[in-house]
Structures are given as structure tokens and as C-alpha cells.
Structure 1
């Protein structure tokens, strides 16, 4: 009986000793240098992976973005082309990271880039992103304003109103985007073609404008051509004859 008790006491003492040594080992601080070095390596590794993911937007490492467009919801990149697709690639990445598409560019007109994937057409300009989906009943358009457009050298692409000007009105018709610009008061009429982005800037001859008033009216004259913009209509005439008349689809 004493023999069994002795063995039991010995076992308990040995177990307590092991626990004490383990506890002492756990409480002993690690050298700071190796720990900090490990954290640094892990952090750098994560940053490298994140940077690589951000940079690798084009189909291959040999291709780089030559245009970058930002909208409220998306990043759109125009990547350089190669032998297979000489016009390049249209890349659209949602800002929440949930979606990315890559489509070869089918046509380019100035700074207008168009890519077609099945029944869906993607068109981006420095001013807007337009997605058109064909359906049996016709077509459905999704439009989103481009907040910034940047070239490969980091310089911004052409915008509506000049730097230092306020935008009093932004109006869109089927074929044009029109800006009424100025500093303290409206002073210029800027029109951009939605295809090709040809742009004209003309001083205003006269205007009637109050924020929130539906009967706003702006008149600009360039030689024998007269431009009239109202809340409802864009009208261009030459020698009193109307050559363009389009409904205003968007007014802000």
C-alpha cells in the first residue's frame, strides 16, 4: 500500500514539475528582434501581393494601362494592345472588388473606346461610361458619369469646363454634352460630341439663368452659327435655319 502511495506521490510531483517548466517557458519573453523581423516580412509580403494585384489589371505583364477612368462605382482601364488585339483591352473593375471584366476593344474614335461582348456594348469617354444591352424589346442603356480621366503620363484628359471655372449647367442630348461655364457668372458655352469628343468653346452672347428655374436659356454665336440651349432643347442654326435640334435628356 505504501509502495502504491509512493509511486502516486512521485507521479504527481513529476507532473507538477512539467507544468511549472511549461509555464516558465510560456512566460519567458521571445527575443524582440526575430519577432519584429517576422512581422515585417509578413507585412511586406501582404503589401507586395496587394500591390501586384492592383498593378496587374491588364491581361499580361507586357501590357500596361494607357487610360484610367474613375466613376462612382467602377475603375475602367484601357490597356495597350498586342498582335492579337491591336486596339487594346477594356478592363472594368468594380470598386467593391466584386466584379472584373476584360473585353478586347473593337473601335476607337478620339478618346471614345468601344468594346463588344455578345449582346453588351461598353463605351467609355472622359465624360461618361455607357453600357448598352440588346434585348428583344430594343436596348437598355446604363450611363454613369466619369469623375476623372487620366492618361498614362498622369495628366488629366480633357474635361468640360476649364480649370478655375464653375459649371453652372451640364446638359446631355443624344449626341452632345454641353457645359455652361464661368467664374462668378456664366460666360462660355462648351459642347462635346459624345462620339469622338470633338469640342468647341464659345463665349456666351446672352443668358437667362437662375438655379432651379426651368426657363433658363443660353445663347452663343460663332460666325453665322447660333447655339441655343434651354432646359428642354439644344438648337443649332445657321442663317436662321435649324441644322440640329435635340431633346435635352439630362440637366444638372
Structure 2
């Protein structure tokens, strides 16, 4: 049903040859109208390079193939996603927003008490709805409050 509705809207937009766009002049109270081709208006614009989770959710590009986004978190400096595969396997995907560190991709053995824990080598990644902690050996190297959480 949704696909049919989207197809109908898309067909309507492409069949409509032109639209009027109005802009209010700064010097007066009048509007100036110009005729624009619908195809020009519908051109694909480059996506923002922001690292917000809304964009990640939209594109779902951080999850490995054959998985889907299960949880997403964003801290001031990091992103963290829990991706789910068929059969219930959970995968932690996370990294620094500035791209200077490698992205982590580690299996989450269990989800107890709303806490996702992934281990890669001697590094543990602990994600809760309120906090992201990264512990290397016995030293906490990241301890950041979660600013955005999506279930």
C-alpha cells in the first residue's frame, strides 16, 4: 500500500510540468513568482556531512550486510549502533564522529539489563541508553553521556 502511494505521488510530481515558486521581496510586501520546472526542483541534493543518527538511520549504512539497525546512540564525539541479524545475533558498530579512529565491528554476546557489551581484543564497548564506555584493559578511555538514543 505504501509503495503504491509513493509511486502515485512520484508519478504526479513527474507529470506536473511546472510549479510556481514565490519569494517575498525584502524591500516591499509583494511576492515575486517565477516559473520553475518540476524536474529542477526534484534534483537530488548532496546529503549533509553531519554525523547525526537520523542520517545514519535513514541510510542504515553503518550496519554490516544482512543486518538492520536495532538501536542507535550518539554521544558528543562518538556514534554507536547495535545491528541485528536474522536469528537474533547482535553486532556493535561504533566509532569516532571525526573519522580519525577505525570503526569497531564486534558481536554482542548478550543484552542484559538494557546494557550492550561487545569485546574486541582487550577492549570492551559498553552501551546503555544513557552512557557509552570504552574500556581498554583496565583503563576507561571513553566515558560519554548518550545525547540521542533510538530504539
Cα-Cα RMSD: 3.0
**Correspondence 1:79-228 to 2 at 5 A:** 124-125=49-50, 127-128=51-52, 145-146=54-55, 147-148=58-59, 159-183=61-85, 184-196=87-99, 198-204=102-108, 206-209=109-112, 215-228=113-126
Deviation at 1:163, TM superposition (A): 3.4
1:50 to 38, 51, 67: 38
Alignment deviations for residues 167-202 of structure 1 (CA, whole Å, 9 cap, x no partner): 221111111111111223142110032223852211
Q: Kindly name which structure, 1 or 2, has the bigger radius of gyration based on alpha carbons.
A: 1
Matched-pair contact (CA < 8 Å) for 1:207–1:216 = no
Change (3 A) 1:243 1:50: same
Deviation at 1:236, TM superposition (A): 0.8
Matched-pair contact (CA < 8 Å) for 1:234–1:245 = yes
Alignment deviations for residues 133-169 of structure 1 (CA, whole Å, 9 cap, x no partner): xxxxxxxxxxx72224xxxxxxxxx812123213221
Deviation at 1:54, TM superposition (A): 4.1
TM-score, normalised relative to structure 1: 0.39
Structure 1: 5+ residue stretches without partners: 1-42, 58-64, 70-75, 77-123, 129-143, 149-157, 210-214
Q: 1:53 and 1:241 mapped to 2: Cα distance? A: 53
User: Structure with the greater relative contact order (CA < 8 A, sep ≥ 6): 1 or 2?
Assistant: 2
Matched-pair contact (CA < 8 Å) for 1:168–1:186 = no
**Correspondence 1:238-249 to 2 at 5 A:** 238-249=136-147
